Amino acid sequence: MKLVLASNNAKKLAELGLLFAPLGIELVTQGSLGVSEADEPHHTFVENGLAKARHAAAVTGLPAIADDSGLCVDALGGEPGVQSAVYAPFTPEPGTDREAQRRAQDAANNRLLLDRLAGATDRRASFVCSLIALRSPQDPEPLIAFGRWGGEILATPQGEGGFGYDPLMFIPTLGRTVASLPTELKNAHSHRAIAAVQMIALMRSAWRL
């Protein structure tokens, strides 16, 4: 079974590809099929995930899965939330490729987050992930899974791995930032891992995979 991922993020594809390996599905990005990114006008991860999955399924004619995820910080009332990927104002340098632009945006987002939390004593936060899977754009029974991974925001980045806010997100139970975790450990504990376990069970039950 081929499943289109409603994202062009290569690192997200690699992470989800490993998580969904037990199903034996072929996961491909929408960008590799010439699909543009969908609008994400909503205030919740679930609504934006539905919009992205429906767009990918409509354009490709394939079953689709969308991951809408981000960071919710308690002291900021849930920010950056659904705006996590584009939290900071950012203008890309002309001629830079997509991954270079994404890394520069990530760095700007992290700087803004630290600025907003300057002097804060409550630094609790959660990575959250909604996974939405559709058999078609009109699927009346979308599969919805949700994962939450709690931690706290450090004052300085630590670690070279991962992406996004991973260098700032410290997981007390593991004693490290997400960016410091080996891939295997991250994939065993992350918000995407939690949601993926739920989604795999839903796909096996509802889609008979």
Q: Say if pTM beats, i.e. exceeds, 0.95.
A: no
Beta-ladder partners of 167? none
Write the pLDDT tens digit of every residue in 25-61.
Answer: 889 999 889 998 898 999 999 999 999 999 999 999 9
Enclosing domain of residue 146: 2-206
Name the DSSP class of 144. Answer: E
Number of separate domains in the chain: 1
Write the pLDDT tens digit of every residue in 148-163.
Answer: 999 999 999 999 988 8
Give residue 24's pLDDT: 86
Average of per-residue pLDDT across 131-146? 97
Residues 6+ apart with CB under 8 A from 111: 88
Residues designated catalytic: 68
Q: Is the dihedral of CA 71, 203, 55, 4 positive or negative?
A: positive
Give residue 157's pLDDT: 96
Instruction: Judge whether 131 and 195 are in contact, CB under 8 Å.
Output: yes
Q: Which of 45-59, 70-84, 144-158, 186-200 has the lowest mean pLDDT?
A: 186-200
- CATH code for position 142: 3.90.950.10
Beta-ladder partners of 66? 132
pLDDT surpassing 80 at residue 11: no
Give residue 68's pLDDT: 94
Q: What is the pLDDT confidence band of residue 171, given thresholds at 50, 70 and 90? A: very high
Average pLDDT, the chain: 93
